[in-house]
Amino acid sequence: MRSLNKLKILNDPIYGFITIPNSLIFDLIQHKYFQRLRRITQMGMSYLVYPGAHHTRFHHAIGCMHLMQKAVNVLRFKGVNISEDEETALYCAILLHDIGHGPFSHAMEHSIVSDVSHEEISLIFMQRLNEEFNGSLTLAIEIFKGDYHRKFLCQLISGQIDMDRADYLKRDSFYTGVAEGNINSERLITMLNVIDDNLVVEEKGIYSIEKFIIARRLMYWQVYLHKTSLVAEQLLIRVLKRAKELNKDGVIIKASEPFLYFLNNKITLNNFNNEIIEIFSKLDDYDIISAMKQWQDHPDFVLRSLCNMIINRDLLKIKVKKKPIKEAILEKHKNEIINTYNITEKEAEYFVFSGSMSNQAYQLNTKGINILHKSGKIEDIVKASDQLNLKALSKPVTKYYICYPKQKL
């Protein structure tokens, strides 16, 4: 049998050619668990606002691995010792950091399973793959969990200036066309260094970091927390909630087998075994879209209406305020829909609801972004910068929203 050439090159619209560094990475990319990420949208329902935002978790994971290769080269050039095993572990960990995302990424994170984060599911996938790959991912898992003694390696995977953020801001900006998020990831990475086992940014990179933090704030308000994608994601959560409710009451719900499994069973971290990870690995955006297309004609008014809204992009009206929504306003809209459609108050709550969203561009804590001055002094970006806004950006800003039907459902 002809041996497979595993040193492939991929063409990426953001970075150009990306090389696959070794055969282990190639085999992980080829694995069905990773290939599933081609069917998981990176930005949930954002494509209803930005038509180009159809890129997937697969794109993002490959991009992160490419940036990690750059980071390893830069740090080695500056005299930081990174062994071959550590290098491979970094590539594996960043490649698989999002493998636990469910359909539509964050939109359905706590709906398919109960109180299990995508990071916890990613870890279960990595442990499963480690068994299959004869322990090759042991070090990658240690770094991913933050247990490895060389802290800067963990910071490259998960920190305030990690390869994950360096890719998704640039990538999401490209695919949405929102220029404000277009950071210079390559320059940021070139400015990285390691002091006392912690990741730092050299002083000349200070303006790139300022741009990075401001870009993050703008992308959250303009893209990730855009009111239209917010209401679409809330509707998606409610579709699932209603389907589970009807299913529990014995109403026939048609869906794919993996989707039905999660509708029928309450899955928590305690019962997330190998059998369930296998079923979860068969679940993606296509299952949800396909089910909603069927449910558009379901006899249940609530399920039918919610699915029609998402499929045909005829969403609820959403208003964003600076203060919490008054109960009286909610009641007014609820009563209107109860009287118009002769439904119960519980059913009306699927169409009239309020909530809040919060944006904190930078967290001022021990895991902040540290600037290395030429004198050798290290200080937090907020203190090092003359950009007065950075302190303000480290405070969370909360906005409140109310959703209710337009004229007719």
The pLDDT value recorded for residue 1 is 41
Read off the pLDDT band of 409 (50, 70, 90).
low
For residue 17, pLDDT beyond 80: yes
Whole-angstrom distance, CA of residue 148 vs CA of residue 1: 40
Reduce the DSSP state of residue 306 to 3 states and report it: helix
Whole-angstrom distance, CA of residue 130 vs CA of residue 140: 9
Whole-angstrom distance, CA of residue 35 vs CA of residue 237: 25
Computed over every residue of the chain, the mean pLDDT equals 93
Q: Which residue has the higher pLDDT, 326 or 366?
A: 326
For residue 250, pLDDT beyond 50: yes
Under 8 Å between Cβ of 128 and 100: no
Read off the pLDDT band of 300 (50, 70, 90).
very high
State pTM to two decimals: 0.94
Whole-angstrom distance, CA of residue 58 vs CA of residue 69: 17
Distance of CA 346 to the CA centre of its chain: 31
pLDDT digit string (tens) for 359-383?
A: 887 877 667 899 999 999 999 888 8
Across residues 93-120, what is the average pLDDT?
89
Length of the chain: 409
Concatenated DSSP letters for 177-239? T-GGG---HHHHHHTEEEETTEEEEEGGGHHHHHHHHHHHHHHIIIIIT-HHHHHHHHHHHHH
The pLDDT value recorded for residue 106 is 82
Whole-angstrom distance, CA of residue 315 vs CA of residue 44: 15
Reduce the DSSP state of residue 354 to 3 states and report it: strand
The pLDDT value recorded for residue 4 is 64
Under 8 Å between Cβ of 6 and 193: no
Contacts (Cβ under 8 Å, ≥6 apart) of 13: 174
**Residue keyed to tokens 């305030």:** 160
For residue 2, pLDDT beyond 50: no
**Segments in 22-137 forming alpha helices (H):** 23-30, 32-35, 57-77, 84-95, 118-132
Across residues 64-68, what is the average pLDDT?
98
**Amino acid in position 391:** K
Across residues 344-366, what is the average pLDDT?
88
68-82, 158-172, 388-402: segment of lowest average pLDDT: 388-402
Q: What is the CA radius of gyration of the chain?
A: 23
Under 8 Å between Cβ of 244 and 263: yes
Under 8 Å between Cβ of 44 and 104: yes
Rounded percentage of the chain residues whose pLDDT exceeds 70: 98
